[in-house]
């Protein structure tokens, strides 16, 4: 089963409020996103957002532009239907984050529990290259992966686990680690999962600095 099939099957066969990663209110993500908004961010893309409730709350922040990207169209469809009329304000992008070339430019890149599924250097490099193209210099990336001592699988798939320093190494020199925290998520079945949350600032690449001078 390929990646798209895996996730489409999941969203068409499972109650999305019973999946392991479900959160009624994504508290830590929202706090970090609000901090970025307070620092001037005006747009957000939730990468691998699926049917997450995050977008419901982000729409209340009054941003200029909000997008949710996911490889599973049905995951996005669940969120779109839940939001009704409010969903018209969201750009719904069906794409694999490791394959899409361009999703536009945003101030905040949010990823909870997606990067950790990328188990090859090549896929991680393509992900980071897209994040570099997408996040405006001075913008933010808020990322949550399973922590170094977190679960070894998610949704039956193998994952790579990270402490903040290793995630920063993966994100490369164009993203500066601002701060991080550990977070224990409790699944709907009551299982505890250790996550690591980090916020990065997108640095201006040399060529843009040269162009601006
Ligand atoms: C564990 S779920 C997390 C969903 C959401 N971020 C949340 O916190 O509730 C992983 C999500 O990433 C999506 N996904 C997995 N691999 C992806 C990829 N390569 N490109 C885009 N989306 C992907 C899945 O369809 C799924 O919606």
Indicate whether residue 195 lines ligand 1 (CB < 6 A).
no
Place of tokens 């994504």: 26
Q: pLDDT value at position 1? A: 73
Probe residue for ligand 1, chosen from 7, 18, 92, 151 as the CB with the greatest number of ligand atoms within 8 Å: 7
| Six token digits for residue 94 | 């069906």
Place of tokens 């001075």: 138
Indicate whether residue 73 lines ligand 1 (CB < 6 A).
no
What is the phi-psi region of residue 155: left when phi exceeds 0, alpha when psi lies from -120 to 50, beta otherwise?
left
Could you list the mean pLDDT of each consecutive 10-residue stretch along the chain, which spans 213 residues? 93 96 97 98 98 98 98 98 98 98 98 97 98 98 98 94 98 98 97 98 69 40
Residue 31's CB is within 10 A of a number of other CB atoms, namely 12
| Three-state secondary structure call for residue 68 | strand
Q: Under a CB-based contact definition with an 8 Å cutoff, are residues 89 and 67 in contact? A: no
Indicate whether residue 134 lines ligand 1 (CB < 6 A).
no
Beta bridge mates, 195: 146, 183
| Six token digits for residue 100 | 């899409």
Residue 103 backbone phi and psi in degrees, to 5: -120, 10
Place of tokens 């162009």: 211
Place of tokens 């920063």: 168
Indicate whether residue 45 lines ligand 1 (CB < 6 A).
no
pTM of the predicted structure, to 2 decimals:
0.96
Residue 153's CB is within 10 A of a number of other CB atoms, namely 10
- Beta strands 175-186 and 192-202 are antiparallel
Place of tokens 């601006």: 212
Q: Under a CB-based contact definition with an 8 Å cutoff, are residues 178 and 200 in contact? A: yes
Distance from residue 212's CA to the centre of ligand 1 (Å)? 36
Probe residue for ligand 1, chosen from 49, 50, 78, 183 as the CB with the greatest number of ligand atoms within 8 Å: 50
Indicate whether residue 171 lines ligand 1 (CB < 6 A).
no
ipTM of the complex: 0.99
Give the torsion sign (CA, 112, 185, 74, 86).
Answer: negative
Q: pLDDT value at position 206? A: 53
Indicate whether residue 3 lines ligand 1 (CB < 6 A).
yes
């Amino acid at each position: 089963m390929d990646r798209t099939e895996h996730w489409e099957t999941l969203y068409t066969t499972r109650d999305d409020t019973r999946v392991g990663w479900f959160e009624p209110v994504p508290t830590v993500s929202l706090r970090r996103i609000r901090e970025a908004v307070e620092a001037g961010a005006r747009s957000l893309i939730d990468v691998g957002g699926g049917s997450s409730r995050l977008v419901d709350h982000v729409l209340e922040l009054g941003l200029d532009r909000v997008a949710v990207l996911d490889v599973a169209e049905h995951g996005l469809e669940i969120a779109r239907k839940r939001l009704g009329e409010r969903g018209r304000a969201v750009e719904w992008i069906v794409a694999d984050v490791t394959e899409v070339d361009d999703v536009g430019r945003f101030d905040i890149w949010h990823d909870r529990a997606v990067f950790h599924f990328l188990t090859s250097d090549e896929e991680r490099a393509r992900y980071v290259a897209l994040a570099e193209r997408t996040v405006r210099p001075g913008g933010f990336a808020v990322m949550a992966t399973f922590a170094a001592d977190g679960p070894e699988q998610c949704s039956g798939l193998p994952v790579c686990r990270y402490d903040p320093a290793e995630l920063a190494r993966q994100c490369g020199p164009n993203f500066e680690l601002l701060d991080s925290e550990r977070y224990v998520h409790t699944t709907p079945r009551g299982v505890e999962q250790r996550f690591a949350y980090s916020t990065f600032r997108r640095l201006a690449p040399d060529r843009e600095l040269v162009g601006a001078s």
